[in-house]
Amino acid sequence: MDYYDRPQSIKKIEDQVKVFEYFDSHGGTIKEIAAALGMSRSTVQRHLNDISDPKKLSLIKSYLNDNKKIGNKNGGLISQEMYGFAKADDGKFIGHKK
């Protein structure tokens, strides 16, 4: 039996195609793609990193990095609201208000 004829290999390839097609048509974060396709976030991340086309891989990585930056910024803003972090004028953390 050839490697690509094994049932788990066939499922992996089918899942990769699903992830690529969903990402191409809808975009979204890893979390959104995973929820939409019923997969774990690590599986979606692995499938996106497995793409063989360098241009598409570069585009995907850029898109995901932008999403990560936005998430980190929003997470920081939510934490600041919840705990009242105090920052200096240069943006450095100097303590909390509580």
The rounded distance, in Å, linking the Cα atoms of 52 and 28 is 20
pTM: predicted TM-score of the whole model, two decimal places? 0.60
Q: Average pLDDT of each block of 10 consecutive residues along the chain (98 residues)? A: 70 87 86 92 88 82 82 72 71 69
Query: Residue with structure tokens 């939409």?
Result: 36
Cα separation of 60 and 14, whole Å? 19
**Taking a C-beta distance cutoff of 8 angstroms, is the pair 98, 82 a contact?**
no
Per-residue model confidence (pLDDT) at position 63? 84
Q: Is there a contact between 85 and 96 (Cβ–Cβ < 8 Å)?
A: yes
**Whole-number Å distance between alpha carbons of 36 and 38:** 6
